[in-house]
Amino acid sequence: MSATPLPPRPTGLDALFRPRAVAVVGASRNPLSVGHLALKKLLNGGFRGAVIPVNPNARSIASVAAVASIEALPDDVDLVVIAVPADKVEPIVASCAKKGIGGVIVLSAGFAEASAEGKAREARLRDLVRAHSMRMVGPNCLGLLNSDPDVSLDATFAPVRPLAGRVAMASQSGALGVAILETARELDLGLSAFVSVGNKADVSGNDLLEHWEDDPRTDLILLYLESFGNPRRFATIARRVARKKPILAVKAGRTAAGRRAAGSHTAALAAPERCVEALLRHTGVTRVATLEEMFDAATLLAHQPLPRGHRVAILTNAGGPGILCADACESQGLLLPELLPATHRALEAALPQAASLANPVDLAAPATADDYRRALPLLLEDPHVDAVIALFVSAGVIDVESVAAAIKEGRRASHGGRTKPLLTCFLGQRGIPAALSSDAESVPSYRFPESAARALACAVRRAEWLAQPVGVVPALPDVEAKTGHAIVRNALAHRGPGWLTPCEQENLLAAFGIPHLRSTLCRSADEAVAAAAALEGPAVVKLASTTIVHKSDWNGVHLNCRGADAVSRACAAIEARLVAAGRREELLGYTVAPMAPSGVDTLVGLFVDPSFGPLLAFGLGGVTTELMNDTAFRLVPLTDAEAQRMVGSIKGVELLRGFRGAPLADEPALVDLLLRVARLASELPEVLEVDLNPVRVFERGRGACALDARIRVGLPETKPLSPAG
């Protein structure tokens, strides 16, 4: 009788998530060892396949027969969990490769996180698994979990196992992973999968996003990130996945020191944190500040529909918490609207006379569970309301569970309101009341009103991002990219990396149709006087240099120069300032241009980050740019819709939109200018910085114009990306 053939060997990440059998190398009889703990988790977690300890010195461990080596494993082992000292890992993985095993999880520490020797060891490990088409989680990780009942794989050594659910999570920190799993269990937040990626030598967050993109058991993805191995690949994958499933992320390292002292305004503003913020905004990933906020938002997104807008009704039995909740909502950009007169009348008929029927609706201290049951559906049905937050403070008279049950029943009694998110807050109550989490219609509950408001704001941001038009990257047929290439190549060939001359800058801007103020480069004060005399009105005289960036710091900008004497004095003042500083040789000359009409001064800039690529900046312009810190950043390429949102995202946008009776500025012209700078970045990787400051935006219909420009070119500063992606 022939043996039953083995099912096909899983490939790719399936070897990690859906193995037929699992082996544990480093499993010992010491109950405190990582290998023993990992073995027990696999055995106790209900894994559907065989679990085999590998130990040359023991016939059995935890009452399970052991084998002496990788070579002795049966052919259906697809995953090997490794918990041995770092210097012993490489030969074990080599044996796995020879055996044809598809996946390994390296729990062991002592690699790139520990020393230069460990970094080299990790690189060899990565090369080894990739040479044999294996996939590896880790090293230096907590492991992996798949709650699918057909698999029931818990290949971690965490002390707690979360409930099964529809939320997948990846964590770059193993230690935090333990707290994450414990918190998920406390909050009854079920996980479909959990992966501690550790050092990300092979499997990264990008790989997991792709794996979970079409996973039918995953509806929501959580990420704890400490670094991006390949941010450009992340941008592509996450933007696609976020259209299908919400992604919440905590990115550690917000306050890390910035890069080297930067030359232009744009580079000075584009610290690494700005790059991260632009990346996550571009991809539609909802960023939260802390793990607590991530879980708060996750419990809402996992169980409630997205709000259609940002209007909130608050239902409470105490005025103080209602006020706190109202303040928290408004601070998060949420609005408390007036209720419809019909809603007000219905509440008046349904509630005791002591109730306050404005928004927040205060049921007052004597409120009963029935009051919540009657009031809640009326608020949910109000078309002016997009979400409801129900607060309850126990005075020891009413049972918390009875109020929770009433809230659940009130939601069920609402028809149209079932499409609106409902949040609850039982002040001082740890955990979710059983009545709220007893079925598929689970209602999230928070200890404090501020937490509920933050979670709802995350859901609103998610809904707004999905509703935004994607837009298109415009063709811009008048762009002369070949001319731009020639200008940059010629500058690099003759002078090498550095700042372009005023003439080169103007020609490059002209090639891309970027409107700018034409100027004349003058080598002497006499030439400057002659150039100014040819103008119809007053002149602007500026310092010209390929090394000095911030002209205003060197008395290098003189406005409203009328007549020869004024121009001569401006040139003399510029030269004297440089002579006093011992930098006279850096004076290339002077640029002379006409004074521009009045308008709103903005900044448009470009900075190429070695990892993130081109980053476009927009904000208020002039010398106060860095002081005001009102700047938006976006990744390139840029769509027309994203350019419009970029302009509208800064606080100073009101200056463009007729603040205090001022004329409307030409926003369409400004958007076009942004798109052209983005196109320049896409076409010319040798352009490393562009600083158009100020870009003056004139009245509607009169355009926008860069009054000053600095452009730095060089070899592309793109550093090699992490192979982990």
Query: How many angstroms separate the CA atoms of 223 and 194, rounded?
Result: 10
Query: How many angstroms separate the CA atoms of 621 and 272, rounded?
Result: 21
Residue type at 305 in one-letter notation: P
If one counts the domains in the chain, the total is 2
Q: What is the mean pLDDT of the chain?
A: 91
Residue 623, domain member (yes or no): no
Q: Among 577, 595, 613, give the residue marking a domain's end.
A: 595
Residue 528, domain member (yes or no): yes
Residue 492, domain member (yes or no): no
Could you tell me if 317 and 387 lie in one domain? Answer: yes
Could you tell me if 318 and 442 lie in one domain? Answer: yes
Of residues 238 and 274, the one with the higher pLDDT is: 238
Show the domain range for 310. 299-467
Whether the pLDDT of residue 266 is over 80: the answer is: no
Could you tell me if 317 and 452 lie in one domain? Answer: yes
Distances (CA, A) of 674 to 583, 670, 725: 35, 6, 30
Could you tell me if 458 and 558 lie in one domain? Answer: no
Predicted confidence (pLDDT) per residue in 21-30, tens digit: 999 999 988 9
Output the pLDDT for position 10.
81
Predicted confidence (pLDDT) per residue in 291-329, tens digit: 999 999 999 999 999 999 999 999 999 999 999 999 999
Name the pLDDT band for 437 (thresholds 50, 70, 90): confident
Q: Which residue has the tokens 């039995």?
A: 317
Residue 59, domain member (yes or no): no
Residue 419, domain member (yes or no): yes
The 10 Å Cβ neighbour count of residue 100 is 13
* Domain CATH for 415: 3.40.50.261
In angstroms, how far is CA 549 from the centroid of its own chain? 32
Angle at 32 (CA atoms; ends 27, 35), nearest 5 degrees: 20
Please, are residues 143 and 119 in contact by the beta-carbon 8 Å criterion?
Answer: no
What is the share, in percent, of the chain residues with pLDDT greater than 90?
78
pTM assigned to the model: 0.88
Residue 713, domain member (yes or no): no
Could you tell me if 457 and 590 lie in one domain? Answer: no
Q: Among 545, 576, 595, give the residue marking a domain's end.
A: 595
List the one residue out of 403, 420, 416 whose CA is nearest residue 303.
420
Could you tell me if 458 and 535 lie in one domain? Answer: no
Paired residues of 635 in beta bridges: 615
In angstroms, how far is CA 267 from the centroid of its own chain? 20
Residue 251, domain member (yes or no): no
* Domain CATH for 550: 3.30.1490.20
Q: Which residue has the tokens 């500040």?
A: 289
Output the pLDDT for position 630.
82
List the one residue out of 463, 405, 464 whose CA is nearest residue 435.
405
Could you tell me if 530 and 432 lie in one domain? Answer: no
List the one residue out of 218, 223, 211, 208 whose CA is nearest residue 166.
218
Query: How many angstroms separate the CA atoms of 325 and 238, rounded?
Result: 33
Please, are residues 444 and 431 in contact by the beta-carbon 8 Å criterion?
Answer: no
Output the pLDDT for position 625.
61
Q: Residues, the chain, total?
A: 725
Name the pLDDT band for 623 (thresholds 50, 70, 90): low
Residue 129, domain member (yes or no): no
Could you tell me if 446 and 530 lie in one domain? Answer: no
Q: How many helices (H) and strands (E) does the chain have?
A: 22, 30
Could you tell me if 434 and 579 lie in one domain? Answer: no
Mean pLDDT for 517-544 is: 95
Output the pLDDT for position 4.
53
Could you tell me if 321 and 448 lie in one domain? Answer: yes
Could you tell me if 317 and 460 lie in one domain? Answer: yes
The 10 Å Cβ neighbour count of residue 593 is 20
Please, are residues 420 and 380 in contact by the beta-carbon 8 Å criterion?
Answer: yes
For residue 287, what is the DSSP state? E
Q: Among 552, 575, 595, give the residue marking a domain's end.
A: 595
